Amino acid sequence: MRRCVRGVLVVLTLCGSLISAVPAQAAEERPAAPVPLERLFDNVAVSDDERPAGADFDGAGASLSARDLRAAGWTPGRTLTVQGARLTWPERQPGEPDNVRAAGQDVRVTGRGDALAFLVAGTAGTEVGGPGTITYANGTRSAYRLTAPDWRTGPLATKAVALPHINTPGGQLAERARLYVVTVPLAPGRAVASVRLPRAAGLHVFALSVRTATQGWTGSWATSTGGYAAVGPWTDRTLRLVVHTSAGGPRVRVRFDNTFAAAPVRIGSATVAVQASGAASRGTPVPLSFGGAAGVEIPAGAQAYSDPLGFAVPADTNLLVSFHLPGTVAAAPVHRLAQQRSYVSEPGDHAADGSAGAYTSVISSWPLLAGVDVGGGPGSVVLLGDSITDGDRSTVDANRRWPDVLADRLLAQNTVPRYGVLNQGVSGNRVVTDRYPGDGVSTDTAGVSALHRFDRDVLAQPSVRTAVVFEGVNDLRWDTSAEQVIAGLREIAARGHARGVRMLAATILPCEGEARCTAAVDAERVAVNEWIRDGEVFDGVLDFDAVVRDPQRPSRMLPAYDSGDHLHPGDAGLAALAESVDLRLLRS
């Protein structure tokens, strides 16, 4: 067989006979038509635990455990929702091809949305990736870059799921295997027709889909998962969580997140109601459904959205979201600092109870529940922050966090749209360092870094228009340099802009008097704030430092705004932050 040479006749011979003769350039101009991803599968990643040599994911004989995948709820053909994207785990049995090695293949993908989501992992021993191309139905194209962490060494903080073992021909290893969901932006408003994968040795793609745009929904309440913590244990109990709405609307859906989990969790039933007082509802709680069923099992690392429900959600009101846990739950994804009392029942399914009688225990965290969306509305503003945004030191049950006050201001005016306000503050959170490692049961619920949670907590939120980043003091207090914080903030701004999100930054508050807020830390804080004010990286600045600092001593907070610990503003200081926001900056 003769080798092809550009621009000359290509002659292919086999055993002396002529097979075909076409100009090489013409052959290159007629690529194969895009086909569904599963028709391109050319690698076996999953092995039967009794026959581990039946798969070779990484070229060295190692593979994923079918038993571990089943235990995590990742069964063949199952559709999982991760970061708001619906992805189907390949409907293949152990030992069958279940992924494609990215080598420039054209994949048929359709739909409109804000992002393309890939279920991927690398096997090169390090992060691997490359450029690809998205083709739209109108014939236009856009470039993207896909990067996948390694399945054995990548960060646990960003994984979709981690499995406890790796299979090898020589036996099973007690070593974490990771799978990742990575999203890349799409051109707004265009229907996708196909995707050309990168050419990247060691990059494996299991599934991809268009993340459907969340038009028609506005986020009214949300919270970030700060870790996977020991709870209860709860067996046959109903949780009744109290959450405070920002925007209202005629329909509702709720979202449960099993983020960071190693096993599925089952919700037997769920309801929504307006709070009367305590655990008592105003009227009979209304049942929620999931794909038409009363309950849902959420695989490890995945999410579940309830079906849209015609239910009038008032703005600026406490809701009761109740859900029954029929099994035993000893650990769960948790937002620790709720600053709000919620309730746990005596044994039994009490989700439909209007009275408070069965709810005899109080908790001060939000397990599993991550979002409440309302139908219609102008979209959402997301506030990405630490304990100051989380409301630490604000009055419990009073909804006096600065995001709450900002939401009230938006509801009381007509200058800009009345956006929903989503509080994604996590107490103790940092810009560039993970406090919670991202896997396993942990007593630290300060979350993964803002960089590592940005996709989940900001970009995947419903109809996000504007994001405010208000973090950095915890990094500086724990010896991260101003340069590192600035680099992290710069990356966050770039990632938001790539998705069409308006990005604002808030300056870091003074904290002299708190044990770790030394003069050296304050100098770093001033450097970060100068960059925020002058760097022209963000679309606008909320100068919170100028709002609360003492003019006579700018390194400390005004006593009237200080909660007493010199780090967190009290109710008056939090209100001052919210009142200082020029609402016109929020307009996308």
Confidence of residue 20 (pLDDT cuts 50, 70, 90): very low
Residue numbers of the domain that contains 359: 228-371
For the chain, the average pLDDT equals 94
Q: Are residues 244 and 367 in the same domain?
A: yes
Using the predicted structure, report yes or no on whether residue 505 has a pLDDT greater than 90: yes
Of 371, 394, 421, at which residue does a domain stop? 371
Distances (CA, A) of 562 to 45, 390, 393: 55, 16, 10
Q: Are residues 301 and 365 in the same domain?
A: yes
Q: Are residues 14 and 147 in the same domain?
A: no
Using the predicted structure, report yes or no on whether residue 9 has a pLDDT greater than 70: no
In a domain, 266, yes or no: yes
Confidence of residue 32 (pLDDT cuts 50, 70, 90): confident
192-209 exposure pattern, b = at least 16 Cβ within 10 A, e = fewer: bbbbbbbebebbbbbbbb
Q: Are residues 68 and 1 in the same domain?
A: no
In a domain, 221, yes or no: no
Pairing of strands 85-88, 79-82: antiparallel
Written as six digits, the tokens of 545 are: 């430092």
**Which pLDDT does position 535 carry in this prediction?**
78
In a domain, 222, yes or no: no
**Which pLDDT does position 128 carry in this prediction?**
98
**Which pLDDT does position 5 carry in this prediction?**
33
Instruction: Express each pLDDT in 201-252 by its tens digit.
Output: 999 999 999 998 777 999 999 999 999 999 999 999 999 999 999 999 999 9
In a domain, 218, yes or no: no
Query: What is the per-residue DSSP string for 539-566?
Result: SEEE-HHHHHEETTEEEEE-TTTB-SSS
Q: Could you give the number of structural domains in the chain?
A: 4
Of 371, 395, 417, at which residue does a domain stop? 371
Q: Are residues 433 and 287 in the same domain?
A: no
In a domain, 15, yes or no: yes
Least confident of 4-13, 24-33, 304-313, 339-348: 4-13
Q: Are residues 190 and 294 in the same domain?
A: no
CATH number of the domain where residue 462 is located: 3.40.50.1110
The arithmetic mean of pLDDT across residues 7-11, rounded, is 31
Instruction: Express each pLDDT in 426-452 by its tens digit.
Output: 999 999 999 999 999 999 999 999 999
Of 313, 339, 371, at which residue does a domain stop? 371
Using the predicted structure, report yes or no on whether residue 263 has a pLDDT greater than 50: yes
**Which pLDDT does position 31 carry in this prediction?**
64
Using the predicted structure, report yes or no on whether residue 172 has a pLDDT greater than 50: yes
Q: Which pTM was predicted? A: 0.93
**Which pLDDT does position 30 carry in this prediction?**
52
Q: Are residues 77 and 155 in the same domain?
A: yes
In a domain, 457, yes or no: yes
End-to-end, the C-alpha distance of the chain in Å comes to 60
**Which pLDDT does position 303 carry in this prediction?**
98
In a domain, 154, yes or no: yes
Q: Are residues 234 and 162 in the same domain?
A: no
Unique residue bearing structure tokens 């919270």? 223
Q: Are residues 439 and 536 in the same domain?
A: yes
Q: Are residues 383 and 354 in the same domain?
A: no
In a domain, 544, yes or no: yes
Q: Are residues 134 and 16 in the same domain?
A: no
Q: Are residues 168 and 129 in the same domain?
A: yes
